[in-house]
A and B are shown apart, each in its own frame.
Chain A
Amino acid sequence: MSVTRAEKPKKTGKNPVDYAKAPINADLTPEQKLGFLADMLRIRRFEQASLKLYQQGKMGGFLHLYIGQESVAVGTLALMGENDHAITAYRDHGHALVVGMSMNECMAELLGKATGCSKGKGGSMHFFAPDKNFWGGHGIVAGQTPLGLGIAFALKYKGLKGCCLTYLGDGAVNQGVFHESLNIAALWDVPVVYIIENNQYSMGTSLARSSAIKSCLAERATGYDMDWDIVNGENLYEVRAKTWDAMQRAHEKCRPAILEIDTYRYYGHSVADANAKKYRKPEEIEFYKQNHDPITLWENRLKEEGIADEAVIKKLDDAAKKEAAASVQFAEDSPFPELESVFDDIYYEVDMGTESGKTGRHFFND
């Protein structure tokens, strides 16, 4: 059986650090803290609504749910300032919602509608919002890792103080291009922060069966003389504090880093994952739901702090459900794209009708 967090020695040891007191957390207002809860609930309700559409046969393809991992996107992306950017893999709905994409455009994209964020041309794995510094949504495992490097390179080139949060999975760490990117990032001081969302599985392969490691994946950074840290993803304060440390080093010194954030996904790799219940025991999933659910834990924390009670939580949850239901309605009511739109958005010069877009034949249909 794979190593679960319960069995893993906690790096925090006997005297756990109270990350609530970290500077980036100490000044949070109750509204901000409730905002994090609202965002986590929005992700979960969005994902549940999309799952339902899938089960009803209204969408096909791959649907990689983010349920169980919400604290990672919320804890990290909420730290983004004006010149911070983000890019991730195909499990991208949570990131999209946190950076400010609307449920409507995301749900419509899942159904392949013209009103979708990519006009139905990207689908579940390929959400983008460059106006919100969000660069996708990438379907090839680790294919986004050098793009994050390039985005961060561009920030430094332009003299902007920012970084690129570049997400990948625990399986993606074994792709060569990730290591090429790490080497270049450290060699040239590129302000990229790699965030490994370690949900312990890459499809049906457990971490133990996929990676040769000493203590953790992030430690591989030492081979590149790069900073690294391991983060307990269920603790929103810890996620924020450690991510902010890495972001600050990127901002101030252009130093890259790897953060490995421990998390867990409740559903199969994708909804089409026929083996969802075979490579891990149902008890394991139940254990995480009962003991490590990031939303429940944050709700409990807010209750302890006297910021929220059941009524407040219910109100936020109802709002999330309502928003998700409305997005389903919006998506279902939206039209499919027209066949002519197939040839839009391929070449910028053609789309813009520039001189360069008019010379020669660009498409070869007949």
Chain B
Amino acid sequence: MPVITYRQALNDALAEELERDGNVFLMGEEVAEYNGAYKITEGLWKRFGDKRVIDTPISEAGFIGLGVGAAMMGLRPVMELMFWSFAYVAYDQIINNAGCVRYMSGGLINCPLVIRGPANGGTNVGATHSHTPENFLANTPGLKVVCPATPADAKGLMKAAIRDNDPVCVMENTLLYGDQGEVPEGDYVIPIGVADVKREGTDVSLIAHGRAVLTCLAAAHRLHEEFNISAEVVDLRSIRPLDEQTVLDSVRKTHRAVLVDENKPFCGVSSQIATMIQEHAFDDLDAPVQRVCSLDAPAIYSPALETQQLPTADRIIQKVLAIS
């Protein structure tokens, strides 16, 4: 299997879908001539031309709304947000229009739109550029949200998102763009709504999404080496729809759960997972469900503290030890 970067995996997914379906087009700030602010769309404008890869003015509400309108007409726009943090100026278009138009039309309309871009802290850019809005967006019935953690998942989920007939928010991570990993060749599509057990274990379930999955894997490694604790790592991959079964199966096996989430703790994704576990697997638990989230403050700038604000392997290990 070829080893490529997360960035290349996304680029391949976009190129393959542009090739496959003439209704797919890419649009966003700097995606075409500049090759993308984070080079995800590198080479695509040169290869596919002005019609398919389009630079926009700095007007997120305007161009995301354009994408919703074009999607209602049957096109498959893939809109890049330079940062998901900028979605807030387009919030009305995403929630009210992309999210609600099918419902309010009684099912007469659907919106095959993809909105993608990085959604992460940890890059020393301060609070305005470090938001992780997967919880906000997954709160809207009508929207789908996926958060790939590895190059293979990035490719498979991006392709699934583009082929999906509902609006899908793909949350990437600038810290992962350079990560390398094996990615299957050919038309590799991962169904949305299917979690992945990234490491098997028997003593505790670490449940996470996005980059937190990698933090969990690091913690699981140390738990094994230093404490002889066997941790299972469940990668949600998709926030909505959510693979409830895989999470519950894991908890029923290990009887302990620590939820790890780069979201803030209040009403974060992990809050939903915790609710789900207590509703459906309460009797299987040997200890209270624990959470490790970003520290509950706006994202701090100072690099020394920023890495501590996000979930760390140390914090995960402490939580696991507290319930083991």
Contacts and interface: CB of A to CB of B under 8 A. Distances in A.
Nearest to A85: B73
Interface string B84-119: 000000001100110001111111111010000000
B5 to A, nearest CB: 27
A183 B57 contact: yes
DSSP majority for the B interface?
A: mixed
B69 A148 contact: yes
B92 A177 contact: yes
Contacts of B71: 150
A128 B102 CA distance: 10
B240 interface: yes
Nearest to B72: A135
Interface stretch (B159-167, B177-185, B204-212): B159-167
Contacts of B72: 130, 135, 147, 150-151
Interface string A316-358: 0000000000000000000000000000111111011011100
B62 A146 contact: yes
B283 interface: no
A361 B193 contact: yes
B295 interface: no
B15 interface: no
Contacts of B191: 355-356, 359
A271 B93 CA distance: 27
A139 B242 CA distance: 30
Given A121-B103, A128-B105, A154-B75, A181 B241 contact: no
Interface in A148-184: 148-155, 157-158, 164, 176-177, 180-181, 183-184
Interface centre among B107, B109, B163, by most chain A C-beta atoms within 10 angstroms, is B107
B65 A150 contact: yes
Interface stretch (A18-26, A112-120, A228-236): A112-120
A143 to B, nearest CB: 6
B165 A349 contact: yes
30 contacts: A118-B108, A121-B106, A122-B103, A130-B109, A135-B109, A146-B68, A146-B69, A147-B69, A147-B72, A148-B69, A149-B65, A150-B66, A150-B69, A150-B77, A153-B70, A154-B74, A154-B75, A177-B93, A183-B57, A184-B57, A345-B106, A348-B110, A348-B166, A351-B107, A356-B163, A356-B165, A359-B191, A359-B194, A361-B242, A362-B141
